[in-house]
């Protein structure tokens, strides 16, 4: 990385033909020096089946022994953890919207339906219940007067994206953050000196310094479990398989199939986020299927790894430093040698 930095292009970020700072990259673990490493793994979080149970949050806290960091009633729907941070490595977002979800008729007027009467009509005993015409509304009823009957509840379990080009890793001055053989990004807590540079570098607002500890913490994708051939705790705990863990290539294929399926089912909002190896961070190791714009979930719509522009930054800083040196030299040259006599004479 050292010797190739100088030749970087400012926009493409290709460093002597190799995409070390930005752009598509097939093998981040290999570029970090791992040989004979396992395939890159990741998360595919399919938010369309998330039920907001927070089992992932709990499993993550328990497995990784993360300290308690506040149990707040935030007023943000059912969200108690507010966002990712030093002690929140999985965060379930809850969004309430007045929009239908696909073909679902959320605005059906059930006010005329007497459920007790319907229940009484169902034959008891072994006879199978017949679908009742009165129970199936044939047409969506009119929305109520205040227009608030359509509601969809979006839930999404957010996590560290384990970027292909991870800004936190690039800017870490101690080498505490490193790329594992699985292509994930992990903090070595015995090396971190709490400089906090990774915190503003992350374009997703994931990593954070833990108060009273000082060091930076974030999701490790359960590095210890991966090493033992197990899936991360959150994916293991997810009851709906909203969090899917596996080799990244496989997950990307599965995600494409899922988004096609949803669109065919009428969920036109469905889109993938972070799956594209050509995006600003070279694709995420943890990517998502979302049902609305990313910013609705608190995700940046077009994140770019800050180090993409680093060669250009060094060039500008170099120019500025030379300007300072040259400028001050010119000032002294213009004023010439000071001799007490000339000075006194001028006075």
Partner 1 sequence: MSGDADAHRGQGEDVRHNGHRPYGEIYEDPARLRRDGSISDVTKDGVRGERPGRAALVGGHDLTGGRGERGAAGSGGRHRGGRAGRKRRKGEQPMVPEAEFTSYYGRPVLNQPAWKAQNIAGYFFLGGLAGAGSVLAAGAELTGRPVMARALKVSSAASIAGSAAALIHDLGRPGRFVNMLRVFKPTSPMSVGSWLLAAYGPAAGTAGLCAASGRLPRLGRTASVGAALLGPAVAAYTAVLASDTAVPAWHDGYRELPFVFVGSAAAAASGAALLASPLAENGPARTAALAGTALENAAVKTMERRLGLVAEVYREGGGGRWMRAAEALSAAGAAGAALLAGRSRVAAGVSGAALLAASACTRLGVFQAGMASSKDPKYTVVPQRERLRAREREQQQSRAGARHGASDGEEARD
For partner 1, the closer CB: 206 or 219? 206
Residue ranges in 181-309 assigned as alpha helix (H)? 198-201, 223-227, 233-237, 248-264
Task: Find out whether 23 and 15 touch, Cβ atoms under 8 Å.
Answer: no
Secondary structure letter of residue 130 according to DSSP = P
Distance CA(290)–CA(156), nearest Å, equals 8
For partner 1, the closer CB: 51 or 330? 330
Least Å distance, CB 47 to partner 1, is 13
Residue ranges in 147-274 assigned as alpha helix (H)? 167-171, 198-201, 223-227, 233-237, 248-264
Please tell me whether residue 178 adopts helix, strand or coil conformation: strand
Least Å distance, CB 331 to partner 1, is 5
Q: How far is CA 71 from CA 81, 86, 95, 216, 233, in A?
A: 7, 15, 19, 21, 21
Least Å distance, CB 338 to partner 1, is 5
Strands 271-273 and 286-290: antiparallel
For partner 1, the closer CB: 123 or 147? 147
Least Å distance, CB 3 to partner 1, is 9
Least Å distance, CB 299 to partner 1, is 7
For partner 1, the closer CB: 144 or 224? 144
């Amino acid at each position: 990385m050292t010797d190739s930095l100088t030749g970087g292009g400012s926009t493409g970020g290709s460093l002597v033909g190799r995409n070390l700072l930005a752009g598509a990259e097939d093998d981040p673990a290999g570029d970090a020096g791992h040989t004979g490493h396992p395939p890159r793994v990741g998360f595919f979080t399919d938010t369309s089946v998330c039920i907001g149970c927070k089992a992932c949050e709990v499993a993550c806290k328990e497995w990784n022994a993360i300290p308690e960091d506040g149990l707040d009633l935030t007023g943000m729907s059912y969200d108690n953890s507010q966002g990712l941070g030093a002690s929140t490595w999985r965060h379930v977002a809850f969004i309430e919207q007045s929009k239908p979800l696909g073909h679902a008729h959320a605005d059906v007027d059930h006010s005329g339906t007497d459920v007790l009467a319907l229940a009484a009509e169902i034959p008891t005993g072994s006879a199978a219940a017949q679908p009742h015409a009165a129970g199936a509304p044939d047409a969506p009823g009119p929305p109520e007067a205040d227009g608030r009957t359509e509601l969809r509840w979006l839930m999404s379990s957010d996590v560290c994206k384990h970027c292909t080009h991870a800004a936190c890793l690039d800017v870490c001055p101690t080498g505490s953050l490193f790329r594992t053989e699985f292509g994930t990004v992990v903090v070595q807590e015995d090396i971190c000196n709490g400089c906090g540079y990774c915190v503003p570098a992350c374009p997703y607002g994931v990593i954070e310094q833990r108060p009273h500890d000082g060091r930076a913490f974030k999701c490790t994708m359960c590095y210890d479990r991966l090493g033992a051939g197990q899936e991360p705790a959150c994916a293991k705990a997810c009851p709906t398989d909203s969090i899917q863990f596996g080799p990244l290539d496989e997950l990307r294929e599965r995600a494409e199939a899922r988004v096609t399926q949803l669109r065919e089912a009428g969920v036109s909002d469905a889109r993938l986020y972070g799956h594209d190896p050509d995006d600003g961070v070279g694709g995420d190791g943890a990517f998502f299927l979302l049902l609305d714009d990313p910013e609705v979930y608190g995700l940046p719509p077009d994140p770019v790894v800050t180090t993409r522009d680093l060669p250009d930054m060094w060039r500008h800083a170099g120019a500025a430093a030379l300007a300072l040196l040259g400028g001050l030299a010119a000032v002294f040259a213009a004023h010439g040698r000071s001799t007490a006599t000339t000075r006194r004479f001028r006075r």
